[in-house]
Amino acid sequence: MATLKEKIGYGFGDMASSSFWKVFSYYLPIFYAKVFGLNLVDAGLLMLITRVWDAVSDPMMGIIADRTHTRWGKYRPYLLWIAAPFSICGILLFTTPDWSYAAKLVWAYVTYILMMTIYTAINVPYGSMLGVMTDSPKEKTVFSSFRMFFAYTGSFISLLIWEPLCNAFGGYDSAKGWQWAMICVAAGVFVLFVLCFLLTKEHIHTVSKVSVGKDLKALVKNKPWLLMIGAALCSNLFNTVRGSTVAFFFADVLGTKYELTIPMLGVSFLLFAGLFLTIGEICNMIGVALAVPITDKLGKKSTFIMVNICLIVLSVLFFFVPVSNGGVWTMLVLQVIISIFTGIQSPLVWSMYADVSDYAELEYKTASTGLIFSSASMAQKFGGAVGGAAVMWLLAACGYVADAEAGFVQPDSAVTCLRMLMSFIPALVSVLAIMFASLYPLTTKRVAEISEQLKLVREA
């Protein structure tokens, strides 16, 4: 039985990763377009092409981690080894050199590829730790819930402070402001990864007894893994499309800041993109807290499908909300409910990957936890890439003007596109997620059988 200290320590790891990931997902597109100075087509192509390398580096890292043997375990040492490079690369990514456009484009490619490579080097082993910290399917969901609760806490903090930090260090439109904001976030990320290393332990020791080729062959034949790749990709695509659209939505549909009034109290406050996203992160944490009791009653597969049905309905409703004081309140309420449901979904994905890992060990006699979890990281990053690129390309196709002067009114086609990116397009992604999940064969009963059989195999 793992200790509370270990569960908190494990949570610190994704608190660190998510602090970076959410800033990358939600603010990097608008950073490239309005601060760094790339046009929308180049920025979208950059965000997609760099993931080609990710498609190779993730499985490579999984294979390397599966075959790492140290006194600290197979996966845990990477938290210590990669923490500093991870933070440094984040700072370089948000650094804007005073160069020509072509040279800056090269810098953007180099720093983005480097950042994603280092992200792979630390996040694949971190995710794989879930498979070796406990052999209980239920406790894996608990660990995954701790992970996601702390992840959303990190996101909440980084998104809440991001715009104020940029303003404090030179302004939201200032390259210096963005760089120093990332320096502050990166320092906290380094400390969190070191704490994750110190507070956790690998309790299950597995040894891969087959070749790399057989590992890969078994992976391709693994039906639950293939379906989880599709479901996880849709989950990340949903979040990235909505999240990376928010900053544009506020800038060009609601206004950079929208004043809301609480009628009964006569109190007004300014709603801006960072606060809208931060409220979402808080509600994600509520969803994470609900994940364990709901999945205990419904099972992981049924819960995943139920969540996506709700996301479809709520996302479609968002399109029809008018821009008015009451309408913006409705948008905020929908953001709250949508975020609770995505919070329920997030730990499910990682817990289901752990089940897939157990299935692979029993079915194919391969201890390929790192390889399987690397695919989760690949799906996360590819979902982020496709989502970020799609947002920018669709906006460009609809006539969005990225370098417009203050007060410029975007064409109706661009405004409609922004509304679609917050509603119908994410809803379509959830439809695809349901299709993948409905075919997923690892039910609660089957997972319990696999767990019992694996205990006998490991004890033999």
Structure confidence at residue 198 (pLDDT) = 96
Structure tokens belonging to residue 344: 């329920």
- Domain CATH for 213: 1.20.1250.20
The residues, ordered by sequence, that sit 6+ positions from 238 with a Cβ below 8 Å of its Cβ are 311, 342, 426, 429, 430, 433
Nearest 10 degrees: Cα torsion 314, 319, 321, 323: 140
CA distance 276 to 271: 7
**Is the Cβ–Cβ distance between 314 and 341 less than 8 Å?**
yes
Q: Residue 261: left if φ>0, alpha if ψ -120 to 50, beta else—which one? A: beta
Residue 399 to residues 31, 48, 58, 279, 423, Cα–Cα distance (Å): 19, 21, 36, 30, 19
Could you tell me the two tokens for 389? 């690129």
24/41 Cα distance (integer angstroms): 18
Model pLDDT, residue 207 = 66
Structure tokens at 113: 């590829």
Which candidate, 176, 186, 160, places its Cα nearest to that of 17? 186
Q: What pLDDT shows up at residue 92?
A: 97
* pLDDT in single tens digits along all 460 residues of the chain: 678 999 999 999 999 999 998 898 788 888 998 899 999 889 888 878 877 676 678 888 988 998 898 999 999 999 999 999 999 999 999 999 999 999 999 999 999 999 989 998 999 899 889 888 888 878 888 898 899 889 989 988 998 899 899 999 998 889 999 999 999 999 999 999 999 999 999 988 776 666 677 777 877 788 998 999 899 889 989 998 998 899 899 988 887 677 887 777 777 888 888 889 889 989 988 998 999 899 999 999 999 999 999 999 999 999 999 988 889 999 999 999 999 999 999 888 888 988 888 888 888 877 677 778 777 777 777 777 788 788 889 999 999 988 777 678 889 999 999 999 999 999 999 999 999 999 999 998 998 898 888 888 777 6
Q: For the chain, how many residues are written? A: 460
Within 10 angstroms of residue 63's Cβ, the number of other Cβ atoms is 19
The structure's pTM equals 0.76
List the structure tokens of 263. Answer: 């009628």
Burial annotation 401-426 (CB, 10 A radius, 16+ → b, else e): ebeeeeeeebeeebbebbbbbbbebb
Domain that holds residue 81: 4-459
Query: What is the pLDDT, as a whole number, of residue 1?
Result: 66
| Nearest to 287, CA basis, from 346, 331, 334, 241 | 346
- 135 close to 457: Cβ distance less than 8 angstroms: no
Among residues 125, 123, 115, 107, the alpha carbon closest in space to that of 53 is found at 115
Q: Residues of 281-296 as b/e, b for ≥16 C-beta within 10 angstroms?
A: bbbbbebbbbbbebbe
Among 196, 1, 171, which residue's Cα sits nearest to residue 86?
196
Burial of 15 (0-12, 13-18, 19+ CB in 10 A): buried
- Angle among Cα 319, 20, 332 to the nearest 5 degrees reads 25
Rounded to the nearest 5°, which phi and psi values hold at 400? -65, 135
Contacts of 230 by beta carbon, 8 Å cutoff, 6+ apart: 432, 433, 435, 436
Contact of 353 with 440, CB cutoff 8 Å: no
CA neighbor of 429 nearest in space, from 241, 300, 269, 254: 241
* 264: Cα separation from own chain's centroid: 37
pLDDT the model gives residue 210: 60
- What CA–CA distance (Å, rounded) separates 319 from 163? 26
Q: How far is CA 445 from CA 132, 437, 452, in A?
A: 22, 16, 11
pLDDT for residue 209: 63
For the chain, what is the domain count?
A: 1
Query: Contact 301/437 with Cβ under 8 angstroms?
Result: yes
Helix residue ranges per DSSP H, 254-409: 273-298, 300-319, 325-364, 369-397
Alpha-carbon distance 370 to 60, whole Å?
10
